[in-house]
Structure 1
Amino acid sequence: MEKFNRYLVTAALPYANGPVHIGHLAGCYLPSDIYVRYLRARKMDVKFVCGTDEHGVPITIKAMQENVSPQDIVDKYYAVIRDSFAAMGISFDIFSRTSRQVHHETAAAFFKEMYDKGLFEERESEQYFDEIKQVFLADRYIIGTCPKCGNDRAYGDQCERCGSSLSPDELINPRSALSDAVPVKRKTKHWYMPLQQYEPWLKQWILEDHKEWKNNVFGQCKSWLDNGLQSRAMTRDSNWGIKVPLPDAEGKVLYVWFDAPIGYISATKELTENWADYWCKEDTRLVHFIGKDN
């Protein structure tokens, strides 16, 4: 007897700063499409949602490199990615995008509800600032020498040669990716999610309840938990993204990894008036197909 009355299937939101390639199709979109077609053949109630992830630092960097606006970049690659999926016959019920108004409203509402419940820590900290460009620098805007392997093109969040996770303060001879100037430290305020408060149930859910996961996935999650989770900023200093819905947050947007996963919900809202049935009811099965980098 069928346990679920409806299915919601999501495929990973491709990032709108370049085209999709055959690896993306083989790893995520063809498998999800096959599964959805199977459910449809069984006459199941199923919605298949996807869309482009359109905020974050790589898009703004690409826009500066091409001397266009971030909106120009995401408009270009949204069309390229949408048309590629259509040409491959991927049968999404909706292919949305996180720059749409419904997504901005939905993600801002999530943040505001969490803020009202006191789930964030408000902190003032010193962050790197480019005095030539007059902007705070996100981690990916800071380049320097990796302290682990000596790569002189490491980013402020990661060295892509040795794979080490980094912070901007760890870089040797940091400089701005925007102007090549040596950045200075200035004070700024952000809202942090105290991930360490959720360690107990995450350990139970990951380490005890999901032993069927692949070894590399289980091991990566276990290493983060073993090292102890830390508070992480859910906002950024930027003019590209979803504005933080607070009165004292001028020039600040939601961190892209806060807003992007909400894109699955906002796409469902855009698709159907009874969207909540697919997210909130116990007799719905939610299935995510994600890329290997996630």
Structure 2
Amino acid sequence: MLTRTLVTAAPPTPNGDLHLGHLSGPYSGADIHTRALRLQGTPVRYLTGSDVHQSYVPLKARALGEDPLALADRYADVVAAIFASAAFEADTYVRPQHSRLHREAVRDFVTTLHRAGRIVPRTAEGLHCAACDRYLFEGHVSGGCPRCGADSDGNSCEECAWPNVCTDLVDPVCNTCGATPVTRTYERLVFPLGQYTDRLRALHAGTAMSPQLEELCAGLLAGELPDIPVTHPTDWGLPVPVAGFEGQRVYVWAEMVPGYFAELQEALRAEGADPAGWREEWNASRIVQFFGFDNGYFHTVLFPALMMAYDDGLRLPDAFVTNEFFQLDDAKFSKSRGHAIWADALLAEVPGSVVRFALAHDRPETARTSFTWDRFRRLADEELAGAWQGWLDGLFRRVATVGGGRVPEPGTPTPSQAAFASAVDALADACFAAFAAETFSPQRATRCLGELVRLATAFAAGQSRLLAARPADDRARTAVALEARAARTLAACAHPLMPDFARQLWHALGLPDEPTRDAARAELPGTGSHPVAPGPHTFFTPLPADIDTRVMGG
């Protein structure tokens, strides 16, 4: 039985700031899942990095008149700062341009595939811009998706997630000068993806994924999979370590596979272990990968096939967790149109726990969802600063009144009190089920937390006559102890979603160290009396009335 887990999040491209659409996807999802596993005592690593060799980096640098590597480093710093503000605690955040282990992993990956005949030279047509004298692929070219007709860049469609081979784009144009490209013949190293159809079908049959990802995989494997160039005649990326192709660069999406291996190697190196032992840990771990649905083809088809070709004994992913697009007022985030809320601007004005709760509450799990300021205010002001803060304020007053500043030692609960305790336990179980990879749903987890608070608020109201009439009664002490236990459960269940709030509540309750799942399960009676921390305890406050203008700059 596997006792370890490796969690990967598709690395962000360092060509700009992160907006809320970015923040709501793989990075928050991977962090939530990782924290939930740790809370339950499972050894886990959260691996990610910087996707520096995407074509969008030099394109952005050229537009700004900057050096691509300097731009990539600057934006990688921005991303790292945002991760810190949002409390995304990845074990590694690898920058390939500064990682010897990354370069060596990619070199070994490509040379191994070539030596084994898994990638082969092949001559085929590609797109060329005569005006720019440039080979066009990925971000260098756009046109209509040959599958769905939506606007698409080269190699894959953001809308339907199907791949293209660039030459099949409808009415392609060069994204630099707008010219219509011509076709030219190029020799590249290609990966015959179609040879792995049956093995991929078997993998998908046993791998946890969303219904829409299942449908994408079924559709892709129902047809003939294309040969995928793993080298391109371009000047951005890692040089190809194969004789005759030194002037080409490794396709960044092929580079990402050994990039995940390098992230694990860097994590081992950072703790003083031998990076060469990465295979042993990889194969002994459950592999859970987080990525946007638009990258579904890469992670579910191309990457596993490349892993099979590279090392037949390598463990393949156990679960794929995806998200759809998170939009702003029902339209895609767009920097060019000024239609965006930047993560660093929001986190500078709003506590990370509030931002994380709102993003989890409306996470685009199976369909696109949208951010609106009205909805954000309702969640922050009415739910958190209103219902949650209101119940917790009352709880600490009741601890002071009934327990003299200590959580009382509970006695034997009445039937209604026992029913409340059982209901809290059931909500905790449901919440942690929502953190599991197979049933991952931060949306559902936030509803469980909200229902826990509503249940506890109703319970407190129902016990109010007892507490007013007989505050020294054993039943009154039990009622307050059960409420405190519900708050302790809230802290444990909220920790994956809102770690800063969870720690604050945990310590306010007089509990040591970090929240744990087992502590939330502790049986009553027998919890034991203990003092709470001196108040007041302010966990949430209403948002400023002008929060939207403060964040959006006007």
Identity %: 29
Q: 1:27·1:292 contact (CA, 8 Å) conserved in 2?
A: no
How far 1:284 sits from its partner (Å)? 2.4
**Residues 102-161 of structure 1 deviation map (CA, whole Å, 9 limit, x = unaligned):** 21221121010010011112112232323333322225423456778988x754446768
Task: Name the residue aligned to 2:123.
Answer: 124
Higher relative CO (Cα under 8 Å, sequence separation at least 6) belongs to: 1
Q: Secondary structure at the match of 1:260?
A: helix
Task: Name the residue aligned to 1:287.
Answer: 288
State the superposition RMSD in angstroms: 2.9
**Residues 158-185 of structure 1 deviation map (CA, whole Å, 9 limit, x = unaligned):** 6768888654434565443333344343
Q: Matches of 1:190 and 1:53 in 2, distance apart?
A: 22
How far 1:49 sits from its partner (Å)? 1.8
Query: Closer, same or farther in 2 for the Cα pair 1:114/1:65, shift >3 Å?
Result: same
1:76-225 equivalences in 2 (<5 Å): 76-100=74-98, 101-144=100-143, 155-157=153-155, 166-171=164-169, 174-206=172-204, 208-210=205-207, 213-225=209-221
**Segment of structure 1 superposing worse, 83-92 or 261-270:** 261-270
Q: Matches of 1:149 and 1:92 in 2, distance apart?
A: 36
How far 1:205 sits from its partner (Å)? 2.1
Q: Matches of 1:27 and 1:293 in 2, distance apart?
A: 11
**Segment of structure 1 superposing worse, 166-175 or 182-191:** 166-175
Q: Matches of 2:285 and 2:162 in 1, distance apart?
A: 39
How far 1:278 sits from its partner (Å)? 5.2
Q: Matches of 1:214 and 1:21 in 2, distance apart?
A: 24
Q: 2:261·2:278 contact (CA, 8 Å) conserved in 1?
A: no
How far 1:18 sits from its partner (Å)? 2.2
Q: Secondary structure at the match of 1:99?
A: helix
Task: Name the residue aligned to 2:7.
Answer: 9
Query: Closer, same or farther in 2 for the Cα pair 1:37/1:228, shift >3 Å?
Result: same
The answer to whether 1:262 aligns with 2:258 is: yes
The answer to whether 1:227 aligns with 2:223 is: yes
Q: Matches of 1:223 and 1:149 in 2, distance apart?
A: 13
Task: Name the residue aligned to 1:21.
Answer: 19
**Given the two structures, how large is their TM-score scaled by the length of structure 1?**
0.84
Gaps of 5+ in 1: none
Q: Matches of 2:168 and 2:294 in 1, distance apart?
A: 24
Q: Matches of 1:176 and 1:203 in 2, distance apart?
A: 36
Query: Closer, same or farther in 2 for the Cα pair 1:150/1:246, shift >3 Å?
Result: closer
Q: Secondary structure at the match of 1:124?
A: strand
Match among 237, 242, 247 for residue 241 of structure 1: 237
Structure (1/2) with the larger strand percentage:
1
Query: Closer, same or farther in 2 for the Cα pair 1:31/1:182, shift >3 Å?
Result: closer
How far 1:196 sits from its partner (Å)? 0.9
Q: Secondary structure at the match of 1:191?
A: strand
Look at both structures and tell me which one has the larger radius of gyration over its CA atoms.
Answer: 2
Gaps of 5+ in 2: 296-554
Q: Secondary structure at the match of 1:110?
A: helix
How far 1:241 sits from its partner (Å)? 0.5
Number of corresponding residues: 289
**Segment of structure 1 superposing worse, 233-242 or 125-134:** 125-134
Structure (1/2) with the larger helix percentage:
2
The answer to whether 1:64 aligns with 2:59 is: no
How far 1:221 sits from its partner (Å)? 0.6
How far 1:33 sits from its partner (Å)? 2.3
Q: Matches of 1:129 and 1:253 in 2, distance apart?
A: 16
